[in-house]
Structure 1
Amino acid sequence: MLRCMIPLHHSENQMRAALVALALLIPIPALAGQPVSLEALCFTPGGDCTGVIVDQIGKAQRQVLVQAYNFTDAAIVKALIDAKRRGVDVQVVIDRVNVCAEDKPVCRASGAVAAGLITRAGIPLSIDRKEKIAHNKVMVIDGHRVITGSFNFSQSAQKANAENLLVIEDEATARRYAENWRAHQGHSQEYQDR
């Protein structure tokens, strides 16, 4: 089910993103024989990608694994906290740019606020400092759904940037993303709220 469609007048970047999304529907050897469903496809400007993410988190029943470069959107943070309160296992790994980067003297205030809200809600949050940039934008939901794309979990992604977001329904794909999430979480440091 597609929730956000390509506008009739779309940019070259949006066309490239649409082609990438269509390419995901082509069988690849690692997943051959297994149907992969594109649950949603969204673009900004024009689409409510934040709404798609919040809706998907709201459907979570067991687990949400988050891996994010920019993690500042209040609606997404609230949806994750609400999921935790419903009994969903929520775990987050973010890039260091959200709190304090070693190469920058100033913390990104909204990222530190989001990290603090998440940890005070009892959600484990780790900072990935191993890579120069931990640039993933991924959520794995209930072991069978993946949210990914260029869309950062931020207001800028929704309101100011040209971005894309895919929601893929497939256990094998979700398993691969969850394995990658665990690898990054394994070398990340637990965040200590100040």
Structure 2
Amino acid sequence: MVASSLVWADQAPASSEPVAAPVLVDGARRIEVGFSPEGSAQDLVLRTIGAAKSSIRLSAYMLTSPDVTKALISAKQRGVDVAVVADHQGNLQGGAARAGQHALTLLARAGIPTRTVKAYAIHHDKFMVIDGKAVETGSYNYTAAAARNNSENALVVWNDADLAEQYLNHWQSRWEKGQAFKPSY
């Protein structure tokens, strides 16, 4: 069934990698996938953020993407309740520290509650819960490298409140273990 739903992207990359069309699962629930570096993973992530009407709960290992950061701030500005929990070390120490700190600072300054987690060797979650009824997940880190350089995937399950509740409970448990991010500039 999935193979028959493959279509070529309008702007296919040089690799001509197929991009899966949305699959209707059981009447209301819909699944979409995207891949990078072909571009469809980031497009799907940004469309998912753009579709939010009431809430976004994002859990990230790394959050350094200017596009994702801007999309989250835009969602906040249009009245969506946005909150972010991210890995402490991945965003504030090591090679990506400058970009991670900048992204988290922009989010916090925009009024988006943001926490970092040190409780695990790596807080390696990568997902969003949208409006309590959709989940975006996959290998896709919210970074420029994930969009342009890495082989990554993103999957969104729309209209599945039961699945969203499970992810939201997991998000809440990590939020409770996090510490509020305080911008240093």
Superposition TM-score, scaled by structure 2 size: 0.83
Change (3 A) 1:4 1:171: farther
Q: Quote the Cα distance in structure 2 between the aligned partners of 1:109 and 1:117.
A: 12
Q: Quote the Cα distance in structure 1 between the aligned partners of 2:107 and 2:131.
A: 19
Is 1:110 the counterpart of 2:104 in the alignment?
no
Letter in 2 for 1:190: A
- Provide the residue aligned with 1:154 in structure 2: 143
Q: Quote the Cα distance in structure 2 between the aligned partners of 1:45 and 1:166.
A: 15
**Percent identical:** 33
Q: Quote the Cα distance in structure 1 between the aligned partners of 2:42 and 2:123.
A: 21
- Residue 82 of structure 1 aligns to a residue whose secondary structure is helix
User: Does the 8 Å contact 1:5/1:41 carry over to 2?
Assistant: no
Aligned residues: 172
User: Does the 8 Å contact 1:150/1:163 carry over to 2?
Assistant: yes
Q: Quote the Cα distance in structure 2 between the aligned partners of 1:89 and 1:4.
A: 34
**Corresponding residue to 1:120 among 109, 113, 126:** 109
**Corresponding residue to 1:185 among 159, 175, 184:** 175
Letter in 2 for 1:124: P
Is 1:50 the counterpart of 2:50 in the alignment?
no
Any stretches of 5+ residues in structure 2 without a counterpart? none
- Provide the residue aligned with 1:95 in structure 2: 87
Q: Quote the Cα distance in structure 2 between the aligned partners of 1:129 and 1:36.
A: 38
Considering only aligned residues, what root-mean-square deviation do their CA atoms show, in Å?
2.8
Q: Deviations over 1:148-171 (max 9, x none)?
A: 000000111111001111001211
Is 1:130 the counterpart of 2:122 in the alignment?
no
Deviation at 1:44, TM superposition (A): 1.3
Q: Quote the Cα distance in structure 1 between the aligned partners of 2:8 and 2:139.
A: 16
Q: Deviations over 1:69-127 (max 9, x none)?
A: 010111111111011111110000000134434xx5x7611001000000000000000
Deviation at 1:36, TM superposition (A): 7.8
**Corresponding residue to 1:40 among 32, 54, 58:** 32
User: Does the 8 Å contact 1:36/1:168 carry over to 2?
Assistant: no
- Residue 146 of structure 2 aligns to a residue whose secondary structure is helix
Q: Quote the Cα distance in structure 2 between the aligned partners of 1:112 and 1:4.
A: 38
Is 1:85 the counterpart of 2:77 in the alignment?
yes
**Corresponding residue to 1:65 among 53, 57, 71:** 57
Q: Quote the Cα distance in structure 2 between the aligned partners of 1:4 and 1:47.
A: 15
- Provide the residue aligned with 1:29 in structure 2: none
- Provide the residue aligned with 2:66 in structure 1: 74
- Provide the residue aligned with 1:165 in structure 2: 154
Change (3 A) 1:112 1:37: same
Letter in 1 for 2:128: M
Change (3 A) 1:35 1:130: farther
User: Does the 8 Å contact 2:89/2:118 carry over to 1?
Assistant: no
